Structure 1
Amino acid sequence: MKIENKEIKIESYDIFTYRRIRRAIGYLGISLPILLVVLSFISFFQTPLQHSISHYYYTNLREIFTGALCAVGLFLICYKGHGNISILKNDNLLTNIAGVTALGVALVPTNPEVASDKIYTLIPYSEKWMGWLHYGFAALLFLIFALLAINVFTISHENKIPLSKSILNENNIYRFCGYSILLFIVMVPIAEKLHLFPYSTLVFEALSLFAFGTAWLIKGRALGDKGIIGQKLYQENNPIDTEKVFEE
């Protein structure tokens, strides 16, 4: 009996560790654009509002931009998801690739608006193609974010209960977030080319990060999973009673 209780405790610790990592990733994704924009309006930082999140690399808020992306990248690399025969559903592979590309976005900056503003990082080259490499990393990163939400997060979970599906079911939220990421990223070049409105790139990038962060927060059960929330979002009746587990 004691051995069984010990196994349950270890399993519950693992579950809660994964949930904390997911919530950390979600909070970082949502807070990054908010923090950059808010601090842009504080005169102390002497940083005007930028046309894209990537251009904050060339401002006094550079450390926040690179730091948050590096943190997300490291969390994703350390996050050990489930394997799958299908590459598009392989949690572990996709999160590792996303982690590497997040580091690439942070450490390989976009092209500055003024060529003389180029700031050297780990790669001491100022060729214009380096900026396109940054965009390649960013595009792949958001594509993987969408794949994770649509293909991986929606994989059926155990411990389901026979309740009628709610529009707030987690899979509906994941799909909405995933397709929203794809839509917002496609809108970035379209809005920029058509000059739809000022700071369109910044807005659509921020919306993509909000969708990404929301999916990870729901996956990390940031709203809790007991009672009505557990039934509506996760179709569960609290399969793990954590308070009971830790008391035994």
Structure 2
Amino acid sequence: MKTRSKNDVFTYRRIRRVIGYLGFALPILLVGLSFIPFFKTEVQPSISDYYYTNLRDIFTGTLAAVGLFMISYKGHWNASLLKNDQLLTNIAGIMAVGVSLVPVAPETDLQNIFTLFPYQFSWLGWLHYIFAALLFLAFALISINVFTIGQNKAEDIPVSTFNENHIYIFCGSAIIVLMVLIPVSEVYYLFNYSTLILEALILFFFGTAWLIKGRALGDEGKIGEKVYREHNRVP
């Protein structure tokens, strides 16, 4: 039983790391490849607008992968809906798949664009925004309410500034603030590519929380003490 439990822990950590890496990779790949002439794609106003470019497969494929990983991730049950790991990750997974399948409304009248649903239906654009908003909100709730549950507490190790719970709360709070700034930036045009940049930052904070939870930096020595409050000494 102990071996199985230990294997389960490592499996959860690997899945968390994969989800975190995918979150980091999506905006970097889309924007980075936009500067390569071979792909014939300009930097888009938002991440969602990449659906209508030659990089669509990267956009939809990465989001679908995140969604499937989160749905397959069997989190812990909690009586509180806002702390229910299993519920929130399932919601996030379904929303991620929804964002990948239901495109944002195109800014111009595009021809010969094949989608699962005809984009001429104006309400589909709003459905995309609803999926995206619920996805980001689930990211924030998981980081703030779920990841902060059950940390090991070695009494002789003080809580540092870089304690994992501080990181989760900061990342989740940043996601919420950035969510609010996206519609504000659309209305008041705060700066160039504001939606793209704000969405990328949301994915970076999302990825950071999942990578820390997956212990992508390791947990030995000072990292174990400062971040996780654990005595994991380097051999």
**Alignment TM-score > 0.5, same fold:** yes
Residue aligned with 1:68, SS: helix
Among residues 160, 184, 208, which one is paired with 2:153 in the alignment?
160
Letter in 1 for 2:60: T
Aligned ranges for residues 79-158 of structure 1 at < 5 Å?
A: 79-117=73-111, 119-124=113-118, 126-157=120-151
Q: Are the equivalent residues in 2 in contact too, given 1:118–1:126 (CA < 8 A)?
A: no
Counterpart position of 1:57: 51
Q: Distance in 2 between matches of 1:160 and 1:129?
A: 49
Q: Distance in 1 between matches of 2:11 and 2:42?
A: 38
Letter in 1 for 2:25: S
Q: Are the equivalent residues in 2 in contact too, given 1:170–1:218 (CA < 8 A)?
A: yes
Q: Are the equivalent residues in 2 in contact too, given 1:52–1:199 (CA < 8 A)?
A: yes
Counterpart position of 1:222: 216
Residue aligned with 2:7, SS: helix
Q: Distance in 2 between matches of 1:218 and 1:206?
A: 18
Counterpart position of 1:185: 179
Q: Distance in 2 between matches of 1:92 and 1:25?
A: 15
Q: Are the equivalent residues in 2 in contact too, given 1:76–1:95 (CA < 8 A)?
A: yes
Q: Distance in 2 between matches of 1:34 and 1:125?
A: 27
Q: Distance in 1 between matches of 2:118 and 2:34?
A: 28
1:172, CA displacement in angstroms?
0.2
Q: Are the equivalent residues in 1 in contact too, given 2:83–2:145 (CA < 8 A)?
A: yes
1:115, CA displacement in angstroms?
2.7
Give the aligned length: 234
Counterpart position of 1:213: 207
**Larger Cα-atom Rg:** 1
Q: Distance in 2 between matches of 1:172 and 1:120?
A: 44
Q: In the TM superposition, what whole-angstrom CA distance separates every residue of 1:81-124 from its partner, at most 9, and x where no partner exists?
A: 00000000000000001100000000000000113347332224
Letter in 2 for 1:15: V
1:8, CA displacement in angstroms?
2.2
Among residues 218, 227, 231, which one is paired with 1:233 in the alignment?
227
Counterpart position of 2:67: 73
Q: Are the equivalent residues in 1 in contact too, given 2:96–2:135 (CA < 8 A)?
A: yes
Q: Distance in 2 between matches of 1:71 and 1:23?
A: 13
TM-score when normalising by structure 1: 0.91
Structure 1 unaligned blocks of 5 or more: 1-6, 244-248
Residue aligned with 1:80, SS: coil
Residue aligned with 1:196, SS: coil
Q: Are the equivalent residues in 2 in contact too, given 1:111–1:118 (CA < 8 A)?
A: no
